[in-house]
């Protein structure tokens, strides 16, 4: 089994670059317990998991294209670097999509906050932030489950259907 350790090292360096800055910022935001900071960190994690599971699904398809029948989830994870070398995964595109998604979510939450502020001004209960955050979280959850289903985890196909409201 051949593994490109240079590519793996580069990926690790990119992921862990400025690790102490990221870890410290995350710890400070977590310890302070600010609701908005926690909300943002949770969305970052959801988007990260969506991206990771998308890579797993792409790796799975790549293995199937190479002639493997029903590669396991672990094998699909292990072969992500091979799918990347084959040009199936472009991390630049995935990073841009993830960043755009986070920006979009941020704008949506800000708009929802403004609507709730307007409702509070009218002495009416606010509900838009709850609706917006719930919708975006459910959408990300559905995406993760769909990605894992696409990665050959057959047991999740029914859950995908339930989440889509088809059962």
| Secondary structure string (H, E, C) spanning 18-30 | CHHHHHHHHHHHH
Tens digits of residue pLDDT in 7-39: 656 665 666 666 677 677 666 656 655 676 777
Position 167 scores a pLDDT of 46
Global confidence as pTM: 0.70
The answer to whether the beta carbons of residues 53 and 60 sit under 8 Å apart is no
Angle at which helix 128-150 crosses helix 35-65, to 10 degrees, equals: 20
Position 12 scores a pLDDT of 59
C-alpha separations of 42 from 15, 23, 136, 150 in Å = 18, 15, 11, 24
Q: Please provide residue 130's backbone torsions phi and psi, each rounded to the nearest 5 degrees.
A: -60, -45
pLDDT of residue 63 exceeding 50, the answer is yes
Residue with tokens 């793996």: 8
């Amino acid at each position: 089994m051949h593994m490109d350790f240079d590519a793996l090292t580069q990926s690790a360096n990119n992921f862990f670059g400025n690790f102490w800055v990221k870890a410290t910022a995350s710890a400070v935001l977590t310890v302070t317990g600010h609701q908005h900071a926690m909300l943002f960190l949770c969305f970052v994690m959801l988007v990260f998991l969506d991206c990771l599971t998308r890579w797993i699904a792409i790796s799975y398809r790549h293995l199937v294209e190479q002639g493997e029948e029903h590669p396991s989830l672990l094998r699909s994870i292990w072969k992500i670097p091979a799918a990347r070398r084959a040009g199936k995964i472009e991390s630049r595109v995935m990073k841009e999509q993830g960043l755009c998604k986070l920006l979009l979510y941020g704008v949506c939450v800000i708009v929802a906050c403004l609507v709730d502020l307007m409702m509070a001004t009218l002495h009416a209960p606010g509900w838009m932030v709850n609706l917006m955050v719930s919708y975006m979280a459910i959408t990300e959850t559905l995406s993760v489950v769909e990605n894992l289903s696409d990665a050959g985890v057959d047991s999740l196909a029914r859950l995908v259907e339930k989440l889509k409201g088809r059962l």
